[in-house]
Amino acid sequence: MTDKSIFDQMQEIGKTARDAAAKLALANTDKKNKALLAMAASLRKNQDKILAANAQDMKAGQDKGLASAMLDRLLLTEERIEAMARGIEAIAAFKDPIGDVMDEWSVPSGLKISRVRVPLGVIGIIYESRPNVTADAGALCLKAGNAAILRGGSESFHSSRAIHACLIEGLKAAGLPETSISLVPTTDREAVGILLRDMGAFVDVIIPRGGRSLIERVQADARVPVMGHLEGICHVYIHESADLDKAVAVTVNAKLRRPGICGAAETLLIDEAALGSHLGPILDALIEGGCEILGDAEICALDSRVKPATDDDWYTEYLDKIISVKAVSGIEDAMEHIRTYGSGHTESIITEDGAAADTFLSKVDSAIVMHNASTQFADGGEFGMGAEIGIATGKLHARGPVGAAELTSYKYQVRGDGTTRP
Amino acid sequence: MTDKSIFDQMQEIGKTARDAAAKLALANTDKKNKALLAMAASLRKNQDKILAANAQDMKAGQDKGLASAMLDRLLLTEERIEAMARGIEAIAAFKDPIGDVMDEWSVPSGLKISRVRVPLGVIGIIYESRPNVTADAGALCLKAGNAAILRGGSESFHSSRAIHACLIEGLKAAGLPETSISLVPTTDREAVGILLRDMGAFVDVIIPRGGRSLIERVQADARVPVMGHLEGICHVYIHESADLDKAVAVTVNAKLRRPGICGAAETLLIDEAALGSHLGPILDALIEGGCEILGDAEICALDSRVKPATDDDWYTEYLDKIISVKAVSGIEDAMEHIRTYGSGHTESIITEDGAAADTFLSKVDSAIVMHNASTQFADGGEFGMGAEIGIATGKLHARGPVGAAELTSYKYQVRGDGTTRP
C-alpha cells in the first residue's frame, strides 16, 4: 500500500529536480564551482551541528546493536568532516566534463559531426550507512550538471540531513536552484519503492550503493534505469608462483587496511601447491591483525585456528575483520570460484608468473582485475579520477569507479548547409 | 499465466547464450570475421529460400491489411538481401572493438592502470517488422563478442527464420557456438514477457526497437537493463531566418526520402514570422511528393489542403507520407514543443542565424540535434560508424547510433608489484 502523502512528496521532489536539472544543464563551470566551494565552507562552519546530529545517529546505532564496522562507517569526526569539505573542494578543482567535445569529424555527405558531453539529468542515489556519501554524491552530481535525489540509510538520517543543509547553503550562495540536490525527508522504506517504481517521468537513472538486501529490492522493484553499485565480494588469489612477501603484504592490506569498504577482500583463494609454503605465514599475519579465519575442509585440516566456512560464506561481504579461505586446484578452479560467487567488483592475483597474470586479467569478468596489488585500491581517487560515487558493478554505462565523467551522457551535434540524404 | 514450455525454452536459450558469450569474449578477430563472411556467403547462397519465406510473410501482412509503409519495411528483394550480405561484410571489415586499450596511465602508488574494451555479454534484441535487423543485429553483436537473443516481429517471422539459418551456417563454418545467435522460435508474445522479466541471470541488456506499444510493454515489464531504441518523433523547425530553398529541400527529404525509417520527420514546426514566405512552398513540395498534411488551427486557416491535427498527432510516429505542421512563436516555443512531444531522437533547425542554431543545438535534449540538415541522416552508416543496431533514445550507456563499439563495456586491468594501499 502506498502512503499517499509520501507518494505526493516524492512526486514533488521529482518534478522540482527535473526543473532544476534543466537549469543545471546550462549552468557554467564557474557557477557550479562557486556552489561547491560554498558547500565546503558551510560544512566547516556547521561542523558542530553535524557532529551533534551524528551523535544522535551513533547513539541510536549503538542502541540497535550495529556491528562495529557499521558504526565505523556511520561515525563522523572533525577529521572526517574536514575530509568531506576537502573532497568537495577537490571536485570543484577537477575538470568540468560538461560541454567537452569528445570527438569531432566530417563525413562525405558534407556534415560536420561532434559528440558533446551533456549531463544525464536527474540521478537518484540510494545508499546505506555512510553519511559522507550525502556530500560526495550531491557534489559530484552537481559538478556533472545533474540534479540529485538522495536517499540515505535510516541509520544516518540526522547526519545526512545536517550535511544536506550545508549543500543547500552552497547552492543558494551560487544562485542555483535549491532543488538541485534533494534529500528524501523520511526514513520510511516506502519512499525507496516510490523512487524505484514511480519516478520514471523524473529520474534518468538510479544508483544503488549497498548490500544484498538493497540489490534484491532494486531488482524486484526498479522501473527506471539502474547503474548498480552493489556489494564487493572481492577475491585475492594466491597462485602457486606467488612471491611469499607480496602474498602476505597484499592479503593483509586487502583485508585489514579498512575492512568496511567495498574494495576490502572477503575471500582468499590459495593454490593447493602453495598451501605448504604460503598458508601459514598469511594466516599468521591476518590473525595478528585481529582477523577471524573461516576455511573450507582442507584449510581447517591444516590449521586449528580456522573455523569451518559454510557455502553462504563464499557469498558474504563481511565488511569486518573476517575472511573466508579456500584451497583451489589451480587458476581455472580459482576463476570458476570467482565466476560463481563473485559480485563483479575487484579481484587480484598474486603471482610472479606473467602468463598466469595475463590469463587472470583477461578472463576474469570483473570491473577491476589486478595483478600483485591490493583490492583496496578499487577507488576513483586512487585511480586518479577524482572523487567517486562508488564502484559500478554492472556492465552498462559505467563500470568500476564512477566519477563526474561517468555521470554524463552525450549528444551528437550535426552541422550541414541544407544537406539532404541521397 | 506463463506457458511452462515457452518458459523452459527461453531459459534454455538464455543458458546456452550465456555459455556462448563466455567463448565469444575470448574469440579472436579472425574467427569472428570468418563467421561473418560465411554468413554473408550463406545469405547469397540461400537467396531463394529467403525470398520464399518473405513471400509467406508478405502475403500474411497483406491479408492482415498492414499499411504500405509497414509492408515496405517487411519486404525483401534480391537487392535488399544483397545489401544485407554487404552490410555483414562491412561489419567484418570494420575494426574489432574488443581488447582495445581505451586509455592507459600510471598513478603515484606505482600502479599501472589500463581501461580495456570487453563485450557486454548477452544482448536481447526485440524488434518489429524489418527482417534485415535479424542479420544486422546478429552480426553486430558477434563482432563485439556478444551473444545475441533475437526476437523479431511476428509479421517477419518466416523471413527472420530463413535469415537466422544463414547466420548459424556462418557460426558453424568458423567453429563458433551455434547458440551465439539465437532466434526466439515462437511468435507467442509471452516469450517477450519472459525475456523482459525472467532472464536476468542470462541477459546483460535488452535493446527494444519499436514504437509506442513496445515502449509501454518494456517499461511495465523489464527487470533487466534496457537500452532503449524507441520511436523517432523527429522535428524539423523552420526558424524565421531559414533560407527558403534549404527549408524546402530539407523538409521534403526529412519526410519523404524514406518515410518508414525512425529518422523520418513527423512534425514540422514553423515560425509565425516565416509563415507568409515559407509555408506555401514547403507544403507545395510535400503535397507534390504525395504527402498528407495535418495542421494546427493557424496552419489550417492558411491553407485549405491541410486537415486539422489532434493533440495525438504531435505524439504520433506516422512512418508514412503524413506530416503534422504547427506554427510557433519563436525558438523557445519550438523547443518547448519538442520537449513536450519529442522522443529524444533527432531534431533539426533550419536557419541562417548562427546564434539561433547554437541555442537549438545546445538546449534541445535529443540524441541528435542538427542544423540545416535532414533528420534522415540519423544513421550509424551516415555518421561513419559502420553498421548500427539503431538509434538509442535513452541517455544511459549509448545515445544516438549504436554500432559495434556501443555494444561493449570495459574493465580496468591494474598491475602492481606487491603494491599495498597506505
Mean pLDDT, chain B, rounded, equals 94
**Which residue, chain included where needed, has cell 517499461?**
B219
Cβ within 8 Å, pair B415-A220: no
β-bridge partners, A326: A269
DSSP 3-state of A325: strand
CB-based contact (8 Å) between B372 and chain A? Answer: yes
Residues B284 and B137 in one domain: no
Count of residues for chain B? 422
Cβ contacts of A377 on chain B, cutoff 8 Å: 109, 111, 414, 416, 419, 421
CB-based contact (8 Å) between B415 and chain A? Answer: yes
Listing from the earlier edge strand, what are the strands of the sheet with A147-151?
A181-183, A147-151, A122-126, A205-208
Task: Over range A374-402, report the average pLDDT.
Answer: 91
Q: Rounding to the nearest 10 degrees, give the CA dihedral for residues A284, A286, A290, A294.
A: -100
CB-based contact (8 Å) between B204 and chain A? Answer: yes
Nearest to A379 by CA among B118, B107, B101: B107
Give pLDDT, residue B3.
54
Number of domains into which chain B is organized: 2
Cβ within 8 Å, pair B415-A373: yes
Residues B401 and B286 in one domain: no
Largest CA distance in chain A: 80
CB-based contact (8 Å) between A205 and chain B? Answer: yes
Q: Where are the alpha helices (DSSP H) in B257-390?
A: 280-288, 297-302, 331-341, 354-363
Residue B158 near residue B53 (C-beta atoms within 8 A): yes
Listing DSSP states for B221-281 in one string gives: H--S-B--B----EEEEE-TT--HHHHHHHHHHHHHSSTTSTTSEEEEEEEGGGIIIIIHH
Least confident of A10-24, A109-123, B123-137: B123-137
CB-based contact (8 Å) between A355 and chain B? Answer: no
Residues B290 and B349 in one domain: yes
CA of B405 to nearest chain A CA: how many angstroms apart?
12
Cβ within 8 Å, pair B395-A357: no
Phi and psi (nearest 5°) for A401?
-60, 135
Nearest to A303 by CA among A289, A318, A314, A292: A292
CB-based contact (8 Å) between B185 and chain A? Answer: no
Cβ within 8 Å, pair B107-A382: yes
pLDDT band at A216 (very low <50, low <70, confident <90, very high): confident
Long-range Cβ pairs for the range A218-221 (8 Å, 24+): A218/A126, A219/B200, A219/B223, A220/B223, A221/A192, A221/A193, A221/A196, A221/A197
Asked whether the predicted pLDDT for residue A1 surpasses 70, the reply is no
For the purposes of burial, counting CB atoms within 10 Å of the CB of B287, is it exposed (0-12), middle (13-18) or buried (19 or more)?
Answer: middle
Task: Over range B227-239, report the average pLDDT.
Answer: 89
Give the contacts of A266 (CB within 8 A, at least 6 positions apart): A232, A233, A234, A235, A316, A317, A318, A323, A324
Q: Which domain holds residue A176?
A: 4-229+389-414
CB-based contact (8 Å) between A420 and chain B? Answer: yes
For the four alpha carbons of B68, B72, B74 and B76, in that order, the dihedral sign comes to positive
- Closest residue on chain B to A24 (Cα): B363
Cell numbers placing A227: 547503474
Listing from the earlier edge strand, what are the strands of the sheet with A307-308?
A307-308, A292-295, A322-328, A265-271, A234-238, A346-350, A368-373, B408-419, B112-119, B101-106
Nearest CB to A370; choose among B257, B369, B414: B414
In a domain, A96, yes or no: yes
Residue A402 near residue A391 (C-beta atoms within 8 A): yes
**Measured between alpha carbons, how far is A73 from A91 in angstroms, rounded to an integer?**
22
Cβ within 8 Å, pair A246-B417: yes
**Measured between alpha carbons, how far is A195 from A203 in angstroms, rounded to an integer?**
8
Count of residues for chain A? 422
- How do A181-183 and A147-151 pair as beta strands? parallel
pLDDT tens per residue across span B111-152: 999 999 999 999 999 988 789 999 999 999 999 999 999 999
Cβ contacts of B405 on chain A, cutoff 8 Å: none
Cβ within 8 Å, pair A419-B204: no
Residues A239 and A196 in one domain: no
Cβ within 8 Å, pair B365-A243: no
Half-sphere exposure of A137 (CA within 13 A, CB side): 31
Residues B252 and B299 in one domain: yes
In a domain, A422, yes or no: no
Cβ within 8 Å, pair B412-A368: yes
pLDDT tens per residue across span B79-94: 999 999 999 999 999 9
CB-based contact (8 Å) between B244 and chain A? Answer: no
CA of A258 to nearest chain B CA: how many angstroms apart?
10
pLDDT tens per residue across span B20-75: 999 999 999 999 999 999 999 999 999 999 999 999 999 999 999 998 878 988 99
In a domain, B296, yes or no: yes
Cβ within 8 Å, pair B223-A220: yes
Task: Assign residue B274 the CATH number of its domain.
Answer: 3.40.309.10
For the purposes of burial, counting CB atoms within 10 Å of the CB of B60, is it exposed (0-12), middle (13-18) or buried (19 or more)?
Answer: middle
**Measured between alpha carbons, how far is A207 from A222 in angstroms, rounded to an integer?**
11
Residue B157 near residue B57 (C-beta atoms within 8 A): yes
Cβ within 8 Å, pair A382-B25: no
In a domain, B421, yes or no: no
**Measured between alpha carbons, how far is B378 from B390 in angstroms, rounded to an integer?**
9
Nearest CB to A418; choose among B204, B250, B397: B250
Residues B212 and B269 in one domain: no
Cβ within 8 Å, pair A371-B416: yes
For the purposes of burial, counting CB atoms within 10 Å of the CB of A281, is it exposed (0-12), middle (13-18) or buried (19 or more)?
Answer: middle
pLDDT band at B388 (very low <50, low <70, confident <90, very high): confident
Task: Assign residue A115 the CATH number of its domain.
Answer: 3.40.605.10
Residues B55 and B148 in one domain: yes
Cell numbers placing A205: 537513472
pLDDT band at A3 (very low <50, low <70, confident <90, very high): low
Cβ within 8 Å, pair B382-A245: no
Interface of B with A in 393-412 (CB under 8 A): 394-397, 399-401, 409-412
pLDDT tens per residue across span A283-329: 999 999 999 999 999 999 999 999 999 999 999 999 899 999 999 99
Residues A137 and A282 in one domain: no
pLDDT tens per residue across span B319-369: 899 999 999 999 999 999 999 999 999 999 999 999 999 999 999 999 999
Nearest CB to B412; choose among A205, A367, A413: A367
Q: Which site among A24, A245, A361, A420 would you substitute to test the B interface, given the most B Cβ atoms closer than 10 Å to its Cβ?
A: A420
Share of chain A above pLDDT 70, in %: 99
Cβ contacts of B286 on chain A, cutoff 8 Å: none
DSSP 3-state of A1: coil
Nearest CB to A225; choose among B26, B225, B414: B225
For the four alpha carbons of B388, B393, B395 and B400, in that order, the dihedral sign comes to positive
Cβ within 8 Å, pair B418-A370: no
Task: Over range A18-34, report the average pLDDT.
Answer: 96
**Measured between alpha carbons, how far is A110 from A295 in angstroms, rounded to an integer?**
66
In a domain, A33, yes or no: yes
Cβ contacts of A219 on chain B, cutoff 8 Å: 200, 223
CB-based contact (8 Å) between B286 and chain A? Answer: no
Residues B365 and B238 in one domain: yes
E strand or H helix at A238: strand A234-238
Cell numbers placing A19: 526543473
Cβ within 8 Å, pair A227-B396: yes
**Measured between alpha carbons, how far is A405 from A391 in angstroms, rounded to an integer?**
14
Residues A52 and A198 in one domain: yes
Nearest CB to A219; choose among B223, B246, B400: B223
In a domain, A270, yes or no: yes
Half-sphere exposure of B145 (CA within 13 A, CB side): 25
Instruction: Compute how many other C-beta atoms are within 10 angstroms of the C-beta atom of residue A354.
Output: 10
In a domain, B76, yes or no: yes
Per-residue exposure over B237-270, b if at least 16 CB sit within 10 Å of its own CB, e if not: bbbbbbbeebbbbbbbbbbbbebbbbbbbbbbbb
Cell numbers placing B134: 535479424
Nearest CB to A250; choose among B220, B409, B420: B420
Give pLDDT, residue B268.
98
**Measured between alpha carbons, how far is A373 from B421 in angstroms, rounded to an integer?**
9
Least confident of A16-20, A368-372, B126-130, B198-202: B126-130
Task: Over range B379-405, report the average pLDDT.
Answer: 91
CB-based contact (8 Å) between B302 and chain A? Answer: no
**Which residue, chain included where needed, has cell 512512418?**
B319
CB-based contact (8 Å) between B377 and chain A? Answer: yes
Share of chain B above pLDDT 90, in %: 84
Interface of A with B in 21-60 (CB under 8 A): 25-26
Give pLDDT, residue B1.
43
Cβ contacts of A416 on chain B, cutoff 8 Å: 370-374, 377
Give pLDDT, residue A421.
97
Asked whether the predicted pLDDT for residue B2 surpasses 60, the reply is no
Per-residue exposure over A20-50, b if at least 16 CB sit within 10 Å of its own CB, e if not: bbbbbbebeeeebbbbbbbbbbbbeebbeeb
Residues A147 and A56 in one domain: yes
β-bridge partners, B235: B267, B347
Give pLDDT, residue A210.
76
pLDDT, greater one: B300 or A73: B300
CB-based contact (8 Å) between B280 and chain A? Answer: no
For chains A and B, count residue pairs whose Cβ atoms are closer than 8 Å. Answer: 207
Q: Which site among A396, A406, A408 would you substitute to test the B interface, given the most B Cβ atoms closer than 10 Å to its Cβ?
A: A396
Give pLDDT, residue B201.
87
What letter represents residue A359's amino acid? T
Residues B278 and B205 in one domain: no
Interface of A with B in 91-120 (CB under 8 A): 105, 107, 109, 111, 113, 118, 120
CA of A22 to nearest chain B CA: how many angstroms apart?
9
Residue B143 near residue B91 (C-beta atoms within 8 A): yes
Give pLDDT, residue B349.
98
Phi and psi (nearest 5°) for A395?
-105, -10
Nearest to A120 by CA among A24, A238, A260, A235: A24
Cβ contacts of B350 on chain A, cutoff 8 Å: 418
Least confident of A204-218, A292-306, A330-344, B370-384: A204-218
Least confident of B257-261, B284-288, B384-388: B384-388
In a domain, A384, yes or no: no
Give pLDDT, residue A213.
80
Angle made by CA atoms A370, A376, A378, in degrees to the nearest 5: 65
Cβ within 8 Å, pair A415-B370: yes
Cβ within 8 Å, pair B419-A377: yes
pLDDT tens per residue across span A52-83: 999 999 999 999 999 887 898 899 999 999 99
